Structure 1
Amino acid sequence: MSNLPTVAEVAQMIDHSLLRPELALDDVLAGCDLAAEYAVASVCVKPADVEAAVERLAGTGVLVGTVVGFPHGSATARVKAAEARAALSEGARELDMVLNIGRLRGGQDDVVLDDIRAVVEAAPGAVVKVIFENAYLTDAEKIRACRLSEQAGAGYVKTSTGFAPSGATLADVRLMRANVTDRVRVKAAGGVRTLDVLLEMTAAGASRFGATTTAAMLDELAARRAGRGIRGSCA
């Protein structure tokens, strides 16, 4: 079991996702409590839930993140920047923004660059993660998105929202890791529901994960490290 990361190490790779549209505020607060219990890196909540999450997680060390231009990326750069400023004013410290997918596919790289840069500049001190929504992109488009995100000053490139036809894949994680410098990290989201998938994607180059099965994955890791192997129990 010594080759496995510790539970604390993996917990600090997880953004506990609370983005489903049907979640009531009580559901979000319960998710915040779970995030605090497991000491994950952050929660990622809907913009309307930021203030409540910040209050709930005060003093726990768990950061609050939210989304910008979610889930389709089609808002204007001005609107996305306003979303970013509002989120920071309410206590968010990490922002997962969806780039303008249609403009990227249309070859309008200058528009995509300005779109990402508007959020980065509106959020000094915050971590900005750029969501590509890879289900809709070719590999060449993903590579361009990597380079534009880094040029704009983003801290992470991210595979997916979790709301498209498919989510993170090992091939995409490897491609994205290969096309940004060490300054930019890779976040995998969408379908990261088991410990084995998380560990495989870590080996492929991801260092942060959007997850809803946080407790199951971390409990399984604890069990494996204790020698009570229960592989596949959180599938």
Structure 2
Amino acid sequence: MKAGVNVDAKELAAYIDHTNLKPDASEADMKKLCEEAKEYGFCMVAINSVQTSCCKKWLCDSAVHVGAAISFPLGQTTIATKLFECEDALRNGADEIDYVVNLTKVKDHDYAYIEDEMRQMVALCHKYHVICKVIFENCYLNDEEKIQLCEIANRVRPDFIKTSTGFGVGGATLEDVKLMVEHVDEAIAVKAAGGIRDLDTALAMIEAGAKRIGTSSGISLIHELTKRKESC
């Protein structure tokens, strides 16, 4: 067991956003994702927004949230486009929204634009009483840019800030999780996502302060934990 973290399978499952964001995922694949999420007690299914209504239908008798990804994975749409897609997902039953910031504006250091975007997205989600997660896509950012985004989040108050889409050139790192936890207020949680495929990595992210783990390997993580506890 990773030092400092002692969770059972149920507790670990509650951290996990069970993910299938593949562009070729079939309806059968999405139904299977929802059934697995219910069986294992995962916190959320992370899906492309077009699949929101069907996943909501399949999960209506459970506590599992439906999480729609907005402007995914590039973030390169206008604020108006993001708001339209977000509200469409909300009206179709999304319980949580994960949206990607406009990375061009971040790299241009146009932080006023990023703050305006974040304020409008968070306000729309909170109007519907829905959790809003802001994806930084850290693999393209330097530490100063990541810290600037954390400071904007401190002013705007999204529910989560998130490391990665999993579709960039890199995913979650321990260093990024620690940096984000250090620079964001305690009321704003950190989600680690992208490349988290083994138990030790997941537990290390939790130990570093991540409150959610986005992964398509949630089932194998639970099985790995169960086997490890049985061998103790």
Q: What band does the TM-score fall into relative to the shorter chain?
A: over 0.9
Q: In structure 2, what residue type is equivalent to 1:226?
A: E
TM-score (normalised: structure 1) = 0.94
Which sections of structure 1, spanning at least 5 residues, go unmatched?
Answer: 229-235
CA contact (8 A) 1:80 1:118 kept: no
Q: Partner of 1:151 in structure 2?
A: 155
Q: Partner of 2:101 in structure 1?
A: 99
CA contact (8 A) 1:45 1:66 kept: yes
Q: Percent same amino acid among aligned pairs?
A: 36
> Could you tell me how far 1:175 is from its partner in structure 2?
0.4
Residue by residue over 1:147-191, the C-alpha shift from the partner in whole angstroms, topping out at 9 and shown as x without a partner, is 112322211110100000110000000000001010001100100
2:42 is paired with a residue whose SS is coil
> Could you tell me how far 1:3 is from its partner in structure 2?
5.9
Q: In structure 2, what residue type is equivalent to 1:148?
A: I
Q: In structure 1, what residue type is equivalent to 2:211?
A: S
1:226 is paired with a residue whose SS is helix
Which sections of structure 2, spanning at least 5 residues, go unmatched?
Answer: none
> Could you tell me how far 1:203 is from its partner in structure 2?
0.9
In 1, Cα distance between the equivalents of 2:86 and 2:5?
A: 39
Residue by residue over 1:167-221, the C-alpha shift from the partner in whole angstroms, topping out at 9 and shown as x without a partner, is 0000000000001010001100100111110001111111101110111000111
Q: Which stretches of structure 1, 4 residues or longer, exceed 2 Å deviation after superposition?
A: 1-4
In 1, Cα distance between the equivalents of 2:199 and 2:61?
A: 28
Q: In structure 2, what residue type is equivalent to 1:34?
A: E
In 2, Cα distance between the equivalents of 1:136 and 1:28?
A: 30
Q: In structure 2, what residue type is equivalent to 1:7?
A: A
Residue by residue over 1:73-131, the C-alpha shift from the partner in whole angstroms, topping out at 9 and shown as x without a partner, is 11111111111111111110100010111101111111000111111111121111110
Q: Partner of 1:54 in structure 2?
A: 56
Q: Partner of 2:140 in structure 1?
A: 136
> Could you tell me how far 1:4 is from its partner in structure 2?
2.3
In 2, Cα distance between the equivalents of 1:7 and 1:203?
A: 16
Alignment of 1:196 onto 2:200: yes
Which of 66, 69, 72 lines up with 1:67 in the alignment?
69
Q: In structure 2, what residue type is equivalent to 1:78?
A: A
Structure 2 matches for 1:74-89, cutoff 5 A?
A: 74-89=76-91
> Could you tell me how far 1:226 is from its partner in structure 2?
2.0
1:67 is paired with a residue whose SS is strand
- When residues 3 and 66 of structure 1 are mapped into structure 2, their CA distance, relative to the original with a 3 A threshold, is closer
Which of 32, 35, 38 lines up with 2:34 in the alignment?
32
Q: In structure 2, what residue type is equivalent to 1:53?
A: C
2:196 is paired with a residue whose SS is coil
2:97 is paired with a residue whose SS is strand
In 1, Cα distance between the equivalents of 2:75 and 2:191?
A: 17
1:71 is paired with a residue whose SS is coil
Q: CA RMSD in A?
A: 1.3
Q: Partner of 1:231 in structure 2?
A: none
In 2, Cα distance between the equivalents of 1:169 and 1:148?
A: 21
Which of 211, 215, 218 lines up with 1:211 in the alignment?
215
Q: Partner of 2:165 in structure 1?
A: 161
